[in-house]
Each structure stands twice: as C-alpha cells, then as structure tokens.
Structure 1
Amino acid sequence: MIKSGIEAQINAVKEYASFFDDTLVDSNVPLSCIIYDPYAYFLCTTPEAKELVVNSVKALNNALPTLFEHPIVRNKLQATGLSHVTSADDLIKVFETSSPSYPWNFMACYFTGTPSTADKIFLRTKYIDDVVMENQKTIKQIVVIGAGMDMRALRLEFDQEITVFEVDTPQVIEYKTNMLTKTISKHITPRSKAKNCHVSADLRFAEQWTKQLVASGYDPTKPSFWLAEGLLMYLSEDEIDVLLKTVSSMSAPGSKILIQTVEPIPPATTPEMKMLYMMSAPIGEFRSFTTTPNLYLDRAGFGSDIVLKNYLHLVELYGAPKQNGTSSAFTIGTKPSL
C-alpha cells in the first residue's frame, strides 16, 4: 500500500511506522481515505486504556456467564488464533502480554465488532475531516462538543487564524490535558497552527457551559462551525433538542453544525443476533435513534442547506469497499441569515 501512495502519504506512514505493529487490523480502505492520526495510537496504549478494555471484558463476562462457551464467541476466538481462550481470565492474560495496541484492536474489530468497524471509522473520520477543513476557509471558530479524545485541533492543518474550542466534562479535559503534556507532546509535533482551547463544562447545564465557552474566547457574534460526533445517540430526544437549541442560541447567522446520529437497529430475531447485540456494549447505551436527523436541525434553527450522508454515500464518495447497512448518518445544517 505504501508503494502506491503519494509522497506525502508515504512520508506520514514512515514517520510513525515505528510506533505500530503487525497486530493492527488490516483495512480495505483506499489510500484516498488514509487519515493522519498518530495520536490515536498513544491514547490506546496508556495504562488507563488497557484497564478500560479489561473492565469491559469482565463486565461482558458478568452479564453473560456462558459467554466463552457460545458458538459465536468460539468462532471469533478460533478465527483470531485464540482457540485456547476459554474464559475472561484467559483473554485478560492475552491482553497483559500483548502489544499495547492489540486489546483495543481485538475488542473493537473482532470480539465486539467486525473488521468492517475499522473501515467505517476511517470513512467517518475522513468525511468529517474534509468537511471541517472545507469550512475553515470561511469560518474561524470551531467548537467540538463532547470532544473526548478528538485530536483534530492538533492533527489537521489549520492556519493560525483558527480557534478550536473543545467542550467536555472536567474529568475528560483533565485526562486529555495530562496525556498531551506528559506523553504525546514529547513524540508528536502538531500540524495545526490553530489556537486550542479546552472548555471544562458539563453539556447538561446550558448556562454553565455557554458561559465557560465565552470566557474561553468564543465570540457568539461571529459564525462558527459546530461538531457533535459520537454524542447525540447517548442523549434522549428531549436532551438533543435542548442541546442543539442552546448551540443555536450561541451561533451567529451563517454558522454550521455537523451531527452524527444512529439509525434504528433491527430487532434481534435470532439467538445469534441477540448475542451479538449483547456483546456490543455501545448499542446498549444508546438512547436515541432516528432516520430523520434533519428534523433535529430544523427545530434548532439550522435548517438551511441540509446535507445528509450515510456510510453508503461515503463509500461512493471515497471509492471504498461496500459496507453492510447505513447505521450512522452525518448531517450538516446552516443557520440562515436574518
């Protein structure tokens, strides 16, 4: 794959090749979808990250005591060369002796997911990156709500006129800041020249987080680009409306927002489907599903110039391998001029 890449892609891969290993999942995503994100590796290799994976295995085992006896699980383990694993303790021992990246790769792409999970993450990230970079030509304030470990403020090639505000809970911001100052910054030089502002606030409390955002330098009289990736599906319908209307109240005409939503999941009609759903922890935590995300934006005042894409659209857009189903939608809306 490296041999067929353009020079910039080749150099980006070579620069960080020493940090990776052959346990990373293979992907069929074409070169056009390659994402520059060396930060992701470090975030998946911390002691806290490994502890999180271990705890998820224990939680699955507690919820499903016969988990490792189920044919689906046995087949997954057999396919990944772990036929000797017959218990949660066995799997945890594998993680303890494996390379740092293996536990996350295994859980996300094989055990509780599928290899296509990685392809979907590539497509989603690539599309959002492209949309953000296109809009930063005219909009100089970017706000990532529920930012988590999003590293676009550092890894994308923003110019110095851009300010990226990342809003999340104090615990998340503190962890992210510590990771950046104590570990990541020692290995990676940001491509971005943007100003990066961390806003420690709980999105459930509108008055709190909006005040914190303004205090950090955000100007509600100027257009802004808002990103809500991997967030809304964890909120109820009412909470989504409150959050997006609050965003709208902080947005000048011409502001834009991109939201990710999840489509309704088909009911589990077979024991196999039920087991797969139970193994997929995120599905059990989702609180909202929709086939009409444009209505969220209409109600919040971002109903102009709606653009909706799902994974099938992204496959066509980037020439990637076909994905099963649509699952997520990515919807962009604009706040119209007065």
Structure 2
Amino acid sequence: MNYKCYSLTISSELSLPELMTADAACGCDDVDVRIVIAEVSHDGLVAGQQLGPYLWTSESALWLKVPGVARFLASDGNEIRIDPEHGVDEDSIRVFLLGSVFGAILFQRKFLVLHGNAIRIGDSCMVCVGDSGAGKSTLAAAFMQRGYQILADDVVPVDSQCRAVPGFPRIKLWQDAADHLKVNTEKLRRIRPEMQKFNFPALQQFAEQPLPVRWVYILDRHQKTEILFEPIQGMARFAALHDNTYRVRFLEGMALKANHLKLCGQLAGRIHLARLTRPEQGFTVDALVERILADTTGHS
C-alpha cells in the first residue's frame, strides 16, 4: 500500500491507517521511502557507532531495537526495515515506526526535525515545542477545536526554506487531556493496546501543504499563577532550537551535525521565538490559546 506524509510517498508492507493514502496512479518509480518486513541484524551496525544498548548509527543508517516490539533499520533516507518480535501487535510497531524511525529518515533527508506540534495560523505556521508531558498535544487539540488546522504532531520537519512540512492527520491524546477537552475516547483507537493514549483524527482540519514557520514557542510549566512569555534573543535562540530537536542524539555518527547547525541558524533568523510558561494548575487551555493568538498577532 502507498501512503503520503512529510511530502513523501511511502510504500509500506505494514498497514499505516494513521497516514493518508497516496494517489492510486502512483507507481513504483514515484516512491520516496520503502518500508519492508525483513531481517534486521541482532548486533547493531557493522562499522557503526553505538549510542546506547539499543541504538547504533552510521553515516547512512540508524539501527534501533525496541525490546518486545521489533528491530528497525532506517537507511539512506529511503528505506526502513522492520524485524518484528514474535506475537507483537502492529499498533506497538507503528508507535515507534511513526516516531523515532520516521524521525531518523527525516534527518537523513536533511530536514531539521523539531519535537513539537505545528498549527496553521493564517498563511504561516506556529510550532510549539517542549519536553514530553508539557502539554503540546493538548494545546494543538484545543486549537483544532477552534477550527485551526494542524500540520504535524510530535515530529515536525522543517525544510531548507524554513517551512514546516505536514505529517499525517492525527493528534495523540492521553485520557486526562481528552477529558479536559471533552473528547469522547470510546470510539478512538489506542496507540498501543495497554496505553490510555489515543489517536485523535484530524482529517477535516489538516493542512496538506508546507507553510513558513513564523512563531516557535517553548512550552514549560511553573508553580506561579500567570502565563508568561519571554522572548529569546541572541545565541540563546540557536541553543533553544537545538535543545528542542527531535531525538537530537540520532545526529551522533550520522554525519548530519553540520547540516543541522545550518538549519537551526536559518530558522533562528526568521522566527519569533519565545519561552511560554504556563501554571501547573489553575489555568484553562482556552486562556492559553487566547494568549498565544494575541502574541502571534503582536509579532506578525
């Protein structure tokens, strides 16, 4: 089956219901990335660099083992091999395939890959980055409930023209976030069978074309009562983008650091970049959306 995401055509032997299907006329010569079920070495990469017990990189490949799930090999920006563990469910494979492994492919294809969510505002794009659990997906879902389009959730590739490239039409929501947003999860698919985290479809509010990144907010939390915006200036702008790169350690050993530094510098020079700190408790996501929209207007 052929799919499309990140401006790529993907041929996959594994079903990928989260992705949009490619045009039926798409032929073999039009495929950018092939995903195959095939044997992957148990022992990492020959002549590669070991970054951890389950992670190896080389100039052209990344080897990843997820115990109990699969071994993955992402190579040359155009091939992913999956070697599943016996009896593993496909949803568990897709969690790591659509996250870490796709992130590696996007690095190999020379994208700057941010860990965040991308939302269309006018003819531009706002990206909200931050640590896991900061509330990025909850915020994106709140924007979507207001009629805004999303481009990407969790993995946001930015091209050499400083445009965010659309991923696929879904947001991952934990149960407590869904409850807060009054999203009924009874008919939503869990991202893994044992997790209280769900695929929230966004097909009707999905931006399918790349958009220039105009604003980047680093989402954080504190024990105070106010929502704070702190513009980031000077060299700290570069560091902020580097520190919020998706799986930044993947760059070790993949001969991509120079390209990454170049892309961080390009983007830093074109955006309004600020740290957005919200209260741990005692605020509403609607209030946060309103403050962000006011700030984007003030820095348009």
The reply to whether TM is greater than 0.5 is no
Q: Which has the larger radius of gyration?
A: 1
For normalisation by structure 1, the TM-score amounts to: 0.28
Structure with more of its chain in helix, by fraction: 1
